[in-house]
A and B are shown apart, each in its own frame.
Chain A
Amino acid sequence: MIDLSCFAEEVLDEILEILWTKLEEAGRESVPAEEIVVGSGPVHPEALGVLEKSGLIKVQDGSVKLTSAGFEEARRTIRRHRLSERLFYDLFEISEEQMENVACRFEHILIKPELEEKICELLGHPRFCPHGKAIPAGECCDRAEGLVDQTVVPMSDLRQGEAGAIAYVQTGDSDKLKKLMAMGILPGEPVNLERRFPSFVFTVGRTRYAVDEEMARAIFVRRLKTSG
């Protein structure tokens, strides 16, 4: 028995994904409806109608655009789709032909955000799908980077005498990063900024270090919460 709801959802998702690829990634303004190919032929106008009613797309003179809500939804769909591809490709090493089929179905299981996050974490917050296309970041990825966290600041922003814990080290310059890591400046370590001028002097654990401003900017610290 074919699951009709799944079928319909799959088609809708595929439309969104195509739109995302063409609008967001290829940078086009709008997509003529004929170009949206689902399965073996151009999309059924009914499918487009469903999406338009849900407020996800706008159809004008035979061309389709995504609304802002549509962009969000498309983004999430692409994310789930590519995460699934990643999962099956990496974990089960299935072939490309099988991947499309399986991933497409699996992405619906990922609708639950907790599951999606867990899988993303398991995969190590991957940045690219097996085809090399970017996987849009999720909240869990941002959190892993501490980007959402307001209390995480570069050390160069700390005031003299402030304490905290190292959140992460900016990975831009690999040599700098390697040196810092090798010296024990790693996430989780408690840190205390002793002075800012003329150089940044701080203590990590029981060792005192001195760095210049540029390096202090690469070390991100989570401020100690003041008791309230």
Chain B
Amino acid sequence: MKPDHPSEQSVPGPGGGRRRRFKCGLPGRGRPSEAPCGRHGHRGPERRLIMVGNPNVGKSALFNKLTGSYVVVSNYPGTTVAVAKGRMRFEGVDYSVVDTPGMYTLFPITEEERVARRILMEEKHDVVLHVVDAKNLPRMLPFTLQLIEARLPVILVLNIMDEAEKAGLSFDAAGLEKTLGIPVVPTVSIAGKGIRQLKESIAACPQPKGKLDLDYGLWIERVLLEIMPHMPETSLSRRSTALLALQEDKDVLNRISAGGSDKAQEVFSALNGLKKRLRHPVGYYLMLVRRQKGESLLRDHFSDRGVSEMGSSQVLEKILLNPLTGIPILFLVLYFGFYKFVGGFGAGVVVDFLEGHLFEDYFVPFVNGWTEKLIPWPVIQNLVAMDYGVLTLGVRYAVAIVMPIVGAFFLVFSVVEDSGYLPRLSLLIDRLFKKIGLSGRAVIPLTLGFGCGTMATMVTRTLESVRERVIATVLLALAIPCSAQLGVIFGLASESPGIIVTWVITVGLMFFLVGFLLARFIPGRSPDFFIELPPLRMPRPVNVWVKTSARMRWYFLEIFPLFLLASVIIWIGDITGLFGWALTLLGYPSQWIGLPEETAQAFLFGFFRRDYGVAGLYDIQRSTGLTGNQLAVATVTLTLFLPCVAQFLVMVKERGWRIALAVACFVFPFAFVVGGALNFVLNALGIVL
């Protein structure tokens, strides 16, 4: 995401010259001894505030409290991908507030950390809020020290104080403030405690006092002195930038190279000399020094003589993590959460109301009527309304069918996510997922795939390696049915549990088989798995609401247009006769796997409306009548068949044309091959469903 650059504004002064803003603090109560706030920021009328910190510290909730705007509050790494921006106004001063993805240290590892660091390094900010989980202060203080070392205007925010105090930790915020030389504010962001004090600290324009210089040892210090003059200009101090260069930070090294080859030469030779001398990577020593310094600074101001977490949460933890009990619980969650709520309520009640009633009885006839009146040409009429129109198909599908299902899904997902269950689920299945080239983290996009495959494909970007992303994308396109499709399949096969069982077994088998093969043949390393497990918490309605609505908003902005695009494509296909041609073509493989010719229509339409494809089977069932076996074969093939056109378009967007087409070319014949094989096996074994 490209952060937009502030528009520089300098204030015209009397006599035509330009006057810098020196007002700082509360209006009318300027403190002459205080340095101007504008010195570290850009010279605009608005002050710039940025929030940094680990994931899981309640940064987003704090952002919410400061700006009042909606943002995804998530405790699973990688979910808050986009950078959130908002506005704040306090005592007559405007602030722009930026919330960054989780960062543990100034040296970035993941793509998101790189983005966060880039914002910090390339743009000037007036205030930097370092938000930490109070009970983990010793572990997080090294980052604060780095920020101070970088001469940034930092405020240390000790969030989630309530849990820390409950656990028996004690803090001396005032003393810590004196020792560190920066403001230290305890808060409980979800309850709104300490927010006022925080705002006042922000308004008071913190200036880095820079009392804390860390000594990294003789050799590192000497090399620092050598290379510091060659460092590029950034918002961080020279020393800080040089430390990053020592750790071979790509962005910094690129900028050094851009600054001239002889400078770069000197820096690189100094780096190499250092590397030869040290046994461990530079970052190791830096971390140790910071840790030690942090501990000594905290000695008088922080004590952790608290109780270890006992009782019910430990028991629950044991139950969840033990596979023997954990997996059955997973199935319970799946059953009640997804099958009953999303399927029963969402796909049933709400869809019936929206499509069956609202759309069918009111919207569609209304639109059709007006279209006929206003547009004389039938061709255009068909584009806008009628059977395949943008309004009557695209909008109807997106709003009346997919949205309620996806909405219900997001609701359940957000509840599960807020409770902290998701990371535990991921660690349960990590071992299994490793066999198909994925890590436990892939549980998020794959589970989302059961809601909406299009959205899930987009979420694959949170996976760390290209290999993982490709494997997940293929599996999503192949073997994971979206909730629209699931609902209809279960409806169709409800009379015959045998069909459902066959479907589950076949599709499940294909999922693991293809995943396993992909893992073997796609080059690349096996993914690492390491996550922080946030404490189990009761999901809070506010959080759930915020998360769900943020996802719904995202859905409308990104996915909805794709459905409209799909109707246009269908319209083109219809008027050019491509449809008819495609139908005839698809008729052949359908017959080869033992299905009547009419099922070709279901396949074709399955590409455009996944559930419509399966629902098409209903009609065939009623008219021509499919045998149980044929139904099983048809549903399996349809599931494995191409994903809906929206998902295909997202695949193109995320993975590129080549991979998307490759996937399509693989999935298409594969689905029929499996269908045919299933047909054969069923007949050979004499099974009648």
**Residues of A in contact with B (beta carbons under 8 Å apart):** 86, 90, 122-128, 132, 141, 144-145, 169, 171, 174-184, 186-188, 195, 197-199, 201, 204-212, 214-215
* B219 lies within 8 A of chain A by Cβ: yes
Interface contact B533-A209, CB-CB below 8 Å: yes
Interface contact A212-B434, CB-CB below 8 Å: yes
B161 to chain A, nearest CB (A): 14
Interface contact B427-A181, CB-CB below 8 Å: no
Residues of B within 8 A of A214 (CB): 526, 528
Q: For the complex, what is the distance from the CA of A215 to the CA of B568, rounded to whole Å?
A: 50
Q: For the complex, what is the distance from the CA of A188 to the CA of B139, rounded to whole Å?
A: 12
Q: Which 3 A-B pairs have the closest CB atoms?
A: A182-B104, A184-B139, A212-B529
**A126-B530 contact in complex given A179-B109, A181-B283, A198-B427, C-beta closer than 8 Å:** no
B528 to chain A, nearest CB (A): 6
Residues of A within 8 A of B430 (CB): 198-199, 210, 212
- Closest residue of chain A to B535 (Cβ to Cβ) is A208
Residues of A within 8 A of B138 (CB): 205
Encode B414-455 as 1/0 by CB contact (under 8 A) with A: 000000000100111111101000011000000000000000
Interface contact B532-A211, CB-CB below 8 Å: no
**Residues of B in contact with A (beta carbons under 8 Å apart):** 104-105, 107, 109, 135-136, 138-140, 167, 217-219, 276-281, 283-284, 287-288, 291, 304, 321-323, 423, 426-432, 434, 439-440, 526, 528-533, 535
5 more contacts with CB within 8 A, not counting A123-B219, A182-B109, A197-B323, are A122-B218, A126-B276, A206-B167, A209-B530, A212-B440
Interface contact B291-A210, CB-CB below 8 Å: no
Interface contact B528-A207, CB-CB below 8 Å: no
Residues of A within 8 A of B529 (CB): 199, 210-212, 215
- Closest residue of chain A to B106 (Cβ to Cβ) is A182
- Closest residue of chain B to A126 (Cβ to Cβ) is B277
Q: For the complex, what is the distance from the CA of A177 to the CA of B439, rounded to whole Å?
A: 18
Interface contact B109-A186, CB-CB below 8 Å: no
Q: For the complex, what is the distance from the CA of A50 to the CA of B431, rounded to whole Å?
A: 64
Interface contact B109-A90, CB-CB below 8 Å: no
Residues of B within 8 A of A86 (CB): 277
Interface contact B284-A90, CB-CB below 8 Å: no
Interface contact A186-B287, CB-CB below 8 Å: yes
Interface contact B279-A125, CB-CB below 8 Å: yes
Interface contact A187-B279, CB-CB below 8 Å: no
Residues of B within 8 A of A124 (CB): 217, 219, 277-279
Interface contact B532-A188, CB-CB below 8 Å: no
Q: Could you list 30 examples of A-B contacts with CB < 8 Å?
A: A90-B219, A123-B277, A128-B276, A171-B280, A171-B281, A171-B284, A175-B109, A176-B528, A177-B281, A178-B283, A180-B530, A181-B283, A181-B284, A182-B109, A186-B288, A186-B291, A187-B288, A197-B323, A198-B427, A198-B431, A198-B432, A207-B139, A207-B533, A208-B533, A210-B423, A210-B427, A210-B440, A212-B440, A212-B529, A214-B526
Interface contact A212-B528, CB-CB below 8 Å: yes
Interface contact A212-B530, CB-CB below 8 Å: yes
Which one, B107, B304, B428, B526, contacts A178 given CB within 8 A? B107
**A178-B109 contact in complex given A124-B278, A127-B279, A198-B323, C-beta closer than 8 Å:** yes
- Closest residue of chain A to B440 (Cβ to Cβ) is A199
Interface contact B281-A174, CB-CB below 8 Å: yes
Interface contact B135-A206, CB-CB below 8 Å: yes
Q: For the complex, what is the distance from the CA of A88 to the CA of B198, rounded to whole Å?
A: 53
Interface contact B277-A127, CB-CB below 8 Å: yes
Q: For the complex, what is the distance from the CA of A211 to the CA of B529, rounded to whole Å?
A: 5
Q: For the complex, what is the distance from the CA of A127 to the CA of B283, rounded to whole Å?
A: 18
A60 to chain B, nearest CB (A): 38
B267 to chain A, nearest CB (A): 19
Q: For the complex, what is the distance from the CA of A210 to the CA of B531, rounded to whole Å?
A: 5
Which one, A186, A209, A212, contacts B439 given CB within 8 A? A212
- Closest residue of chain B to A145 (Cβ to Cβ) is B279
B427 to chain A, nearest CB (A): 4
Q: For the complex, what is the distance from the CA of A145 to the CA of B137, rounded to whole Å?
A: 28
Interface contact B427-A207, CB-CB below 8 Å: no
Q: For the complex, what is the distance from the CA of A124 to the CA of B281, rounded to whole Å?
A: 12
Which one, B136, B440, B530, contacts A206 given CB within 8 A? B136
Residues of B within 8 A of A198 (CB): 323, 427-432
- Closest residue of chain B to A86 (Cβ to Cβ) is B277
Q: For the complex, what is the distance from the CA of A173 to the CA of B431, rounded to whole Å?
A: 21
Residues of B within 8 A of A183 (CB): 104, 530, 532
**A177-B284 contact in complex given A123-B277, A182-B105, A207-B136, C-beta closer than 8 Å:** yes
A169 to chain B, nearest CB (A): 8
Residues of B within 8 A of A176 (CB): 528
Residues of B within 8 A of A207 (CB): 136, 139, 532-533
- Closest residue of chain A to B529 (Cβ to Cβ) is A212
Q: For the complex, what is the distance from the CA of A180 to the CA of B280, rounded to whole Å?
A: 14
Residues of A within 8 A of B284 (CB): 169, 171, 177, 181
Residues of A within 8 A of B104 (CB): 182-184
**A205-B431 contact in complex given A124-B217, A124-B278, A210-B529, C-beta closer than 8 Å:** no
Residues of A within 8 A of B135 (CB): 206
Q: For the complex, what is the distance from the CA of A94 to the CA of B139, rounded to whole Å?
A: 42
B199 to chain A, nearest CB (A): 28
- Closest residue of chain B to A212 (Cβ to Cβ) is B529
A13 to chain B, nearest CB (A): 24
- Closest residue of chain B to A215 (Cβ to Cβ) is B530
Interface contact B277-A128, CB-CB below 8 Å: yes
